A and B are shown apart, each in its own frame.
Chain A
Amino acid sequence: MSETPVDPDEVRHTADLARIDLDEDEVERFAVQFADILSYFDALDDVPEVDAEADLVNVMRADEVRDGLSQEEALRNAPETEDGYFKGPSVS
């Protein structure tokens, strides 16, 4: 048995956090599959800690203005635009 059983409510809550609607069939199916997959992940519990310090170097360039996309290019793939802006759902 998994240490982390997954019930449909937990799948619904996670889907809510991830902003993905699911229909009831999907919730049921995912609950079964997630229990399977998460219990497989339980094997990570016995992984030893390893001392590994990465060598970090600063790779940021100087903050100077460069050409980017034009407004037209940036908007080209948007399903809806208005007056040169992206158009999103209404804030309610």
Chain B
Amino acid sequence: MSVDAFITEETIQGADDGPLADRTVAIKDNISTAGVRTTCGSEMLADYVPPYDATVVERLKRAGATLVGKTNMDEFGMGTTTETSAFGPTKNPVDESRVPGGSSGGSAAAVAAGEADVALGSDTGGSVRCPAAFCGVVGIKPTYGLVSRYGLVAYANSLEQIGPLAPTVEGAAEVLDVIAGPDERDATTREAGADADYASAADGDVEGLSIGVPTELIEGADERVIERFEATLDDLRAQGAETHEVSLPSVERAVQAYYVIAMSEASSNLARFDGVRYGPETDADGNWNDSFAQVREEGFGDEVKRRILLGTYALSAGYHDKYYAKAQDARAWLKQDFDEALAEADVLASPTMPVLPFELGESLDDPLQMYLADANTVPVNLANLPAVSVPAGRADGLPVGFQLIGSAFGEREIIRAASAVEN
């Protein structure tokens, strides 16, 4: 039974030798692969074939990995369920009546179904961690600047990072070891963290680890999720970790700030899709503006149009100060709150998603309700921090994810703590 994890299945052989020589990797379809079409889950790029590899793809090939295909995703990464893909939904391998989460739902489903050993996703507001949680696998969102975005088709550049998904924490960390590190083709990459050995941090040793629990990220979560979360904290305490409550008042404005910033950046980034350099062949007529508007009406799905329009609105004269400038204030406030909380704790913990996986079709009609499901993941992107989602058992037969958030370039701490959750 296929869960429809892939948009394109094609084998790309890496080097003969290397740390990932025996590993198959699935690649989210917004990460460029030379000669293999890269659709972003959109009609607009249904036939787009990149002339170059993303840096992460180059590094995987050099490490000996075998790429097995391009995975399904919400169109341009805009969604929490993988249902906004122009290529149809992906099913959750744990329960095929449910969504796999999004936007990297195909990558998580491919790993959970055993159709790839590991996978790459991209995380703009939770798009690696959400599907990892819903499919019962591990997903890492690296610190902003640890992994090159060269060749990642942009949605919201100031927020997104490419990250690994794998059945185990150590497996995900091994992929991070290969893809992390500065790249002269992405000026936002940093030297920090490049030489760290992430896989060796998965030693399960949390003796004396201090874990802060932000109360705002627990309130409002489904009771079945909270139950699994508390049981996991008990387990970590039994292994020698210490936990304490912290308060992050700014996270109450994180979803608003995230969507204003992400939509604003999207409205600018997606302006390039005008049907001239790439895009569907149409019989559009009229002047440039008429023709572009027709191509974009045909090529983009509902959620993409919604975000481009709201972003255009938020940046337009008279509204910029009310929405975009205030969202940037909220982002600075969040960073300050996280800095303070992480001065008193090694890592922070919360449920990855406040809800269990949705049923297919359940959330498509109410975009705002879908945005609210991102409450626990978007604060991390706004604060540029690293986080991991690790399976914390099941509730009603459905996977629950446990999120650990670290200081900037503190991937080793969250990997260590997450590996203790697996014990």
Cβ-closest chain B residue relative to A43: B256
Query: Once the chains bind, are B293 and A41 in contact (CB under 8 Å)?
Result: no
Determine the main DSSP class of A at the interface with B.
loop
Q: How far is the CA of A11 from the CA of B309 in the complex (A)?
A: 8
State which of B48, B281, B330 has its C-beta within 8 Å of the C-beta of A44: B330
Chain B residues within an 8 Å CB radius of A84: none
Q: Smallest distance from the beta carbon of B76 to chain A beta carbons, Å?
A: 14
Query: Once the chains bind, are A20 and B288 in contact (CB under 8 Å)?
Result: no
Of residues 1 through 59 on chain A, the ones whose CB sits less than 8 Å from some CB of chain B are 4, 10-11, 14-23, 26, 30, 33-34, 36-38, 40-41, 43-45, 47-50, 52, 59
Chain B residues within an 8 Å CB radius of A74: 51, 277
Chain A residues within an 8 Å CB radius of B260: 41, 44
Q: How far is the CA of A34 from the CA of B285 in the complex (A)?
A: 30
Query: Once the chains bind, are B309 and A20 in contact (CB under 8 Å)?
Result: yes
Q: How far is the CA of A73 from the CA of B252 in the complex (A)?
A: 47
State which of B47, B319, B336, B368 has its C-beta within 8 Å of the C-beta of A50: B336
B312 located at the interface, meaning its Cβ lies under 8 Å from any Cβ of chain A in the complex: yes
How many chain B residues touch A (Cβ–Cβ < 8 Å)? 64
Chain A residues within an 8 Å CB radius of B284: 89
B355 located at the interface, meaning its Cβ lies under 8 Å from any Cβ of chain A in the complex: no
State which of A47, A77, A79 has its C-beta within 8 Å of the C-beta of B253: A47
Query: Once the chains bind, are B309 and A90 in contact (CB under 8 Å)?
Result: no
Q: Smallest distance from the beta carbon of B328 to chain A beta carbons, Å?
A: 9
Query: Once the chains bind, are B187 and A59 in contact (CB under 8 Å)?
Result: yes
Q: Smallest distance from the beta carbon of B366 to chain A beta carbons, Å?
A: 8
B279 located at the interface, meaning its Cβ lies under 8 Å from any Cβ of chain A in the complex: yes
Q: How far is the CA of A87 from the CA of B276 in the complex (A)?
A: 7
With contact pairs A18-B267, A44-B256, A50-B329 given, residues A33 and B306 touching in the complex (Cβ less than 8 Å): yes
Segment of B100-108, B115-123, B160-168, B294-302 in the binding face? B294-302
Chain A residues within an 8 Å CB radius of B275: 79
B333 located at the interface, meaning its Cβ lies under 8 Å from any Cβ of chain A in the complex: yes
Cβ-closest chain A residue relative to B327: A44
Q: How far is the CA of A91 from the CA of B292 in the complex (A)?
A: 12
Please report B residues at the A interface, Cβ cutoff 8 Å. Answer: 47-49, 51-52, 184, 187-188, 250, 252-253, 256-257, 259-260, 267, 271, 274-282, 284-294, 296-297, 300, 302, 305-306, 308-310, 312-314, 316, 319, 322-323, 326-327, 329-330, 332-333, 335-336, 367-368, 371
Please report A residues at the B interface, Cβ cutoff 8 Å. Answer: 4, 10-11, 14-23, 26, 30, 33-34, 36-38, 40-41, 43-45, 47-50, 52, 59-61, 69, 73-74, 76-80, 86-92
Q: List 9 extra interface pairs beyond A20-B293, A37-B259, A59-B188, CB under 8 A.
A: A22-B305, A38-B310, A43-B253, A45-B322, A47-B250, A74-B277, A78-B276, A79-B280, A92-B286
**7 A-B pairs with the lowest CB-CB distances in the bound complex, closest first:** A21-B297, A89-B291, A52-B332, A77-B278, A44-B326, A73-B51, A79-B281
